[in-house]
A and B are shown apart, each in its own frame.
With several copies, the nearest count.
Chain A
């Protein structure tokens, strides 16, 4: 019997080596596998290269990993946010290396790694600083820059439900980088709200087939659901709305 489920987040992240390249899913907080990141912090691997769209929000998840100085380099599209103070501090202190990649090139390069593409010509970034030094080519009257795949040793992905074969479905825009990162890493580790019986996921609706998944761990239902139905009652960071008049989320321009 194939059973990719593991009983704890500690088991899920076991064996991640110092110096590993790790993809972490999520766009901001949506889809960020916070429990797996916490487990990685506890596990202790260091000198990591992280691939994520952002560079951490607030003091939790990826930001907490950064705060522990366990990350040597981060490859992302949008590090600077209103709540990226942990990264900002490390960057200004020269304690973290940054490789900035336009978001669509980041996504497509990750997809290319999973799909066995050697390199591809992208129109994004041509003529800008972020394509400096890249091979350019005119194809059908348009100029493209050559982009290479981004692969990883490990992907940490936050999905919604899984079965024991590792088939995954996501929830709303928390899907974001999960499916492409799952395919681009040697070892893909997934946290979900719930493991469901094999056959419970509609094969028409599986977003990540289990072939891309190595380990799955259930971390319990997200706080804004109740028995699978949306219940609300939280702020954008998922914190319970305990009192009226609690401070509103900043509306600074992030991406």
Chain B
């Protein structure tokens, strides 16, 4: 692998494109929790002609899109405390039931943001450990260990150019060995027993380029492009 100034030559897709890419991998009939922040974008790209049931951990299945101004219902919010709607077929339940649903492995997919993901699938997304910062974890740790497939949605690199895919997380962990797949603006990576495997490299990105950007040894995924069974 030759050392080049790779940044200019790397293909990066937009956050919206990434959300659409993740949506492609979610089969009809899935029960899905979209974490707060960027992952909520995925909802906009789920196919309109398919039924995918969204869970929000504050106590609802069958969450629908945002209401119009004037039709906001302060009793009907998602985990990000934004107003949502209820689809026909929805159901409400209390917090212990909602987190039991997650912890018990009943969700097919959750999509989370990340500060770092290690090649063992460890996730760090709740605290940078900065001194003086006020810690807050919410449901992140429950989601990380709960869903059958834990997908991370993130830029590959931080604003200062460091890889978010790492050998071992340096930030405080959210969960151990919990991430299934990482969707980044450069490529899609599977977490395998042998570390990250490139499922799909966007544009002209190559495994070599991604290896250089991440500083990790990478290999191609064994069955690229074929979503795993939920």
A residues contacting B by CB (< 8 A) are 1-2, 27-31, 53, 77-81, 87-88, 91-92, 98, 100, 102-108, 110-111, 113-117, 122-130, 163-165, 167, 170-180, 183, 198-199, 201, 203-204, 206-207, 209-212, 222, 224, 230, 232-238, 241, 249, 251, 253-255
Contacts and interface: CB of A to CB of B under 8 A. Distances in A.
B161 interface: no
A91 B134 contact: yes
Closest 5 CB pairs of A and B: A199-B88, A255-B138, A115-B100, A104-B99, A116-B103
Given A2-B29, A203-B90, A237-B74, 8 more contacts: A2-B28, A77-B137, A104-B141, A107-B96, A117-B103, A124-B146, A165-B89, A173-B75
B179 to A, nearest CB: 13
Contacts of A254: 36, 80-81
Given A2-B51, A175-B59, A102 B141 contact: yes
A204 B69 CA distance: 24
B135 A236 contact: no
A124 B55 CA distance: 18
A92 B138 CA distance: 20
Size category of the B interface is: 35 or more
A222 B75 contact: yes
Contacts of A28: 77, 81
A238 B96 contact: no
Contacts of B106: 114, 183, 211-212
A177 B58 CA distance: 9
Instruction: State the main secondary structure of chain B at its contact with A.
Output: loop
B140 interface: yes
B186 to A, nearest CB: 23
Contact of A175 (B94, B137, B145): B94
B195 to A, nearest CB: 19
A233 B145 CA distance: 39
17 contacts: A27-B95, A30-B58, A53-B95, A91-B134, A102-B141, A104-B99, A104-B103, A124-B103, A128-B173, A171-B75, A183-B104, A232-B67, A232-B72, A253-B80, A254-B36, A255-B36, A255-B138
A86 to B, nearest CB: 12
A179 B95 CA distance: 9
Contact of B100 (A116, A128, A175, A232): A116
A117 B101 CA distance: 11
A172 B73 contact: yes
Contacts of B174: 128
Instruction: State the main secondary structure of chain A at its contact with B.
Output: loop
A176 B46 CA distance: 27
Given A103-B138, A183-B106, A177 B95 contact: yes
A172 B86 contact: yes
B100 A130 contact: no
A173 B137 contact: no
B53 to A, nearest CB: 7
Interface string B116-127: 000000100001
A79 B69 contact: no
A116 B143 CA distance: 12
B67 to A, nearest CB: 8
A183 B74 CA distance: 25
Contacts of B60: 172-173, 203
B17 interface: no
B90 A235 contact: no
B57 interface: yes
A58 to B, nearest CB: 12
Contacts of B139: 77, 102-104, 255
Nearest to B49: A1
A236 B78 CA distance: 11
Contacts of B72: 224, 232, 234-236
